[in-house]
Amino acid sequence: MNWEQLLSLKRQGDTSKRLRKEQDDTRLGFEVDYDRIIFSAAFRSLQDKTQVIPLSKTDFVHTRLTHSLEVSVVGRSLGRLVGKKIIEKYPYLQEVHGFHMNDFGAIVAAASLAHDIGNPPFGHSGEKAIGEYFSIGKGQQFKDQLTEKQWQDLIDFEGNANGFSVLTASRPGIEGGLRISYATLGAFMKYPKESLPKKPTKNIADKKYGFFQSDKEFFQDVASELGLVSNKTGNDIGFERHPLAYLVEAADDICYTIIDFEDGINLGLVSEDYALEYLIKLVKDTVDTAKYKTLTTREDRISYLRALAIGNLINDAVRVFIENEEQILKGKFPFALTDKSKYKAQMDDIIKLSVKNIYQSREVIDKELKGYQIINTLLDKFITAFNNNFEGKATSYDKLLLQILPEKHHLEKETLYDRLLHICHFISLLTDGNALLYYQNISGFKH
């Protein structure tokens, strides 16, 4: 892979090449990506989607929106720091093509902003609820009518692949979705493969999948334009990561490790004594002890340590990236940057404590149980109505249900796979609160 190709400003539908040196620096294409994402309806819906605590009304607990904004800030810092080193190493990128270090920051910030845009309501349990509707629920009836890979898309429903659809899928009058630059799409694609074969290797790029069968053709176009390295044979499609995808992943890893932990502390799920012990291990080389002693509230002490911890993890991720940049360009770095961090043991300790005290807390489990019930009910009712309508046998109830389907989802879908995926897509874009309202209306009672 080479950086000039990886930094492509091309957008879906372009008929001529976009050159960096011809860009208006007051309205740079990579910054346009950020703006289009932040003004999109799908991004706005993240304000009422679970990060850790589903349906939480506690004002200091993060939603997907605040998490995504924070990941984009960390991503911008990672991108700029790496960009500075890359421009110094390959000066022709600036001298000949006009790229600047801030371009790297803009790409990673935009991709980081969008990294959760395809996640269903109720956190990761939302993904599992959709998948299990098909694998062990009423959706099993459709298996024999789908190809193996189409079926895998549904039983292993993946927010990353759904996010690629959100950013790129066309609908009448909206060709190419948000029309994001290929460089930003490449950085967004943490798992550039289809749903099968599932986890064929221990390569981090094979951990999950990044596109549905319905998006396969365009996904391949993006990969080809960026010059990604193919790592699959035969009829299977998969690539090594775009280098900047490592930075998007690192930004997410840093934020959820530290900030979910902070949420747990603020909720009282992790004691301050424990928290301080774990965080100080990350910042012992940079903490200003005198300043720390002047902080009188728990919130201020935790915030200070959190900021220092994030700064240390950013600098270390940049170190790992630059030390391995040539291997990354060859597609021979099958790890997350944090896997090679000098702070890996400390991060693992924090995650282990978070799993025990936060992710498996009674409040989280209770709300996830409700999420399962809500998503299963919505899938069953809307899939039945949508399919019955297509087959010309919609009941009066089906027609009423379809009337409450948002106008933009009133689309003709010829194949069963497209119809099933379309309803999954609709439900995935609901906020936690809207999903609950739909469920209450359909069920006829307050939940």
Question: Within 13 A of 73's CA, how many CA atoms are on the CB side?
Answer: 10
Query: 239: which strand partners?
Result: 230
User: Does residue 389 form part of some domain?
Assistant: yes
pLDDT for res 56: 54
Are 371 and 422 contained in the same domain? yes
Are 404 and 307 contained in the same domain? no
How many separate domains does the chain show? 3
User: Does residue 198 form part of some domain?
Assistant: no
**What angle do helix axes 416-428 and 159-168 make, rounded to 10 degrees?**
100
Q: Which domain-ending residue is among 295, 320, 354?
A: 354
Please name the residue ranges forming H helices in 21-123. Answer: 29-38, 41-44, 64-89, 92-95, 101-113
Give burial (CB, 10 Å; 0-12/13-18/19+) of 434.
middle
The 3-state DSSP class for residue 296 equals: coil
Q: Residues with Cβ < 8 Å from 79, sequence gap 6 or more?
A: 104, 105, 106, 107, 108, 109, 244, 247
Task: Kindly compute the dihedral angle of the four CA atoms of residues 197, 203, 207, 211, in this order, to the nearest 10 degrees.
Answer: -60
Q: Which domain-ending residue is among 79, 113, 147?
A: 113
Written as six digits, the tokens of 437 are 């309202």
Are 304 and 249 contained in the same domain? yes
Per-residue pLDDT of the chain (447 residues; tens, 9 = 90+): 999 999 999 999 898 889 999 998 888 999 999 999 999 999 999 998 877 665 455 555 678 999 999 999 999 999 999 999 999 999 999 999 999 999 999 999 999 999 999 999 988 889 999 999 999 999 999 999 999 999 999 999 999 999 999 999 988 778 888 999 999 999 999 999 999 999 999 999 999 999 999 999 999 999 999 999 999 999 999 999 999 999 999 999 999 999 889 888 877 888 888 888 899 899 998 999 899 999 998 888 888 999 999 999 999 999 999 999 999 999 999 999 999 999 999 999 999 999 888 888 887 888 888 899 999 999 999 999 999 999 999 999 999 999 999 988 888 899 999 999 999 999 999 999 999 999 999 988 664
Are 147 and 78 contained in the same domain? no
Are 11 and 87 contained in the same domain? yes
Are 370 and 439 contained in the same domain? yes
Q: Which domain-ending residue is among 354, 369, 399?
A: 354
For Cα atoms 196, 199, 202, give the angle at the middle one, nearest 5 degrees: 150
User: Does residue 51 form part of some domain?
Assistant: yes
Are 332 and 371 contained in the same domain? no
Q: What is the pTM of this model?
A: 0.95
Contact of 125 with 371, CB cutoff 8 Å: yes
Q: How far, in Å, CA of 350 to CA of 353, rounded?
A: 5
Are 302 and 346 contained in the same domain? yes
Q: 321: domain CATH number?
A: 1.10.3410.10
> For residue 241, what is the DSSP state?
P
User: Does residue 301 form part of some domain?
Assistant: yes
Provide DSSP, 138-158: GGGGGGGGS-HHHHHHHHT--
Q: How far, in Å, CA of 173 to CA of 371, rounded?
A: 34
Q: 444: domain CATH number?
A: 1.10.3550.10
pLDDT for res 58: 52
**Domain residue limits at 429:** 121-156+361-447
Are 326 and 382 contained in the same domain? no
Q: Residues with Cβ < 8 Å from 395, sequence gap 6 or more?
A: 388
Are 69 and 8 contained in the same domain? yes
Are 329 and 367 contained in the same domain? no
User: Does residue 166 form part of some domain?
Assistant: no
Q: 15: domain CATH number?
A: 1.10.3210.10
User: Does residue 388 form part of some domain?
Assistant: yes
User: Does residue 423 form part of some domain?
Assistant: yes
Q: Residues with Cβ < 8 Å from 83, sequence gap 6 or more?
A: 100, 101, 102, 103, 104, 105
Handedness of CA 248, 31, 428, 432 (dihedral sign): positive
Provide DSSP, 323-365: HTHHHHHTT---S-GGGG-TTHHHHHHHHHHHIIIIITSHHHH
pLDDT digits (tens, 9 = 90+) for 38-67: 999 999 999 988 776 654 555 556 789 999
pLDDT for res 367: 80
pLDDT digits (tens, 9 = 90+) for 71-89: 999 999 999 999 999 999 9
Are 149 and 69 contained in the same domain? no
User: Does residue 446 form part of some domain?
Assistant: yes
**Radius of gyration of the chain from its Cα atoms, rounded to whole angstroms:** 22
The 3-state DSSP class for residue 238 equals: strand
Query: 54: which strand partners?
Result: none
